[in-house]
Amino acid sequence: MLDKVKEIYQEIEQFEVQSREQLEQFRLRYVGRKGVVAELFEGLKQVPQEDRRAVGQELNSLKDFAQQRFKEYSTSLENGDGQEEASAVDLTLPVAPGPYGALHPLNIVLRQVITVFERIGFSVADGPEIESDWYNFGALNFPDNHPARDMQDTFFVEKKSAGAPSDMLLRTHTSNVQIRLMEHRKPPIRSIMPGRVYRNEAISARAHCMFHQVEGLYVDRNVGFRDLKDTLYHFVKEMFAKDVKIRFRPSYFPFTEPSAEIDISCQICHGKGCNICKHTGWVEIAGSGMVDPNVLKNCGIDPEEFTGFAFGMGVERITQLRYGVNDLRLYTENDVRFLRQFQGA
């Protein structure tokens, strides 16, 4: 019996465990209830009474030894030390395709807008979202008592007195970047200025307190309304269907004179009438006009020598017309069921 015990000790010493299969074989043979060690315990009954205690102790040590080894092998396999497990990973295989992200629809559209304007010589400029009253309103020719300055429209960060040029606010439009550009650069200036803007609006399907605009500005000698019309006409043809119609509606902005709002034929119902165009067949996409001489003066540009046009359009609106997105809240909710639809777009 003791010889048999010795033999099994040796066997265990020599047993190599490098895979899960080998570990299972080890378990069945030395740890399991039908294994060789268990068999020896069975045989204990036949050992003469006087030796039984000593042999029993030997068998217990053997059992402990086998269990200890088993534990060591299983933890080392779990930690990935097993050579066979390691070599089961073929490092030359290509990576399995994972879930890819998609560009946000607003970014897709913004990139397209930028491409269209870059091709006709516009550069891209950027400006701060936390802005002073001067850049957001004052320099843009807003009178002190203009309703847009009111608390209901503007998020003030720091308000000293009504219309103080140093009041700090979240910009309500991207027109602040026009001022910053004209202050620092000499004409010709031909830039678009994309960015985020904020207004104190209750969030609903049709309104949001945060949205995006692309501002445009072209200042040079002899820039006329004709150039504004040509540029925007080109833009809508590039962005939308080739048969898109455009119309300029007389309007008012403090920073442009004359001013016009720009409508295009509804890209959702193609003029038949739907909720998006409120059954008119037309959708407003931008405000525009000739830069008011006062604004040029505020930036140190001589309005006798230079003229310019400007426009500002809503990125959400253009995205709505491109993709039929009907609820502004979808853009910021991060719902993957919405975002996934733009994979590969």
Catalog residues that contact ligand DAH under the rule CB under 6 A.
173, 175, 215, 253, 256, 287-289, 310-312
Virtual torsion, Cα 63, 69, 75, 79, nearest 10 deg:
-170
- Rg of the chain (C-alpha set): 38
SS (H, E, C) 226-239: HHHHHHHHHHHHHH
CB of 289 to ligand DAH, least distance (A): 5
d(CA 163, CA 298) in angstroms, rounded, equals 16
Q: Is the Cβ of residue 26 or residue 311 nearer to ligand DAH in the bound state?
A: 311
Q: Is the Cβ of residue 62 or residue 217 nearer to ligand DAH in the bound state?
A: 217
CB of 303 to ligand DAH, least distance (A): 15
Q: Is the Cβ of residue 82 or residue 216 nearer to ligand DAH in the bound state?
A: 216
Return contacts of 203-206, CB within 8 angstroms, 24+ apart. 203/328, 203/329, 204/328, 204/329, 205/326, 205/327, 205/328, 205/329, 206/328
CB of 174 to ligand DAH, least distance (A): 7
CB of 153 to ligand DAH, least distance (A): 10
Report residue 16: phi and psi, to 5°. Answer: -100, 125
CB of 214 to ligand DAH, least distance (A): 10
Q: Is the Cβ of residue 154 or residue 267 nearer to ligand DAH in the bound state?
A: 154
Q: Is the Cβ of residue 37 or residue 197 nearer to ligand DAH in the bound state?
A: 197
d(CA 201, CA 320) in angstroms, rounded, equals 19
d(CA 217, CA 175) in angstroms, rounded, equals 9
Residue 147, preceding peptide bond in cis (omega within 30° of 0): no
CB of 96 to ligand DAH, least distance (A): 47
Q: Is the Cβ of residue 11 or residue 126 nearer to ligand DAH in the bound state?
A: 126
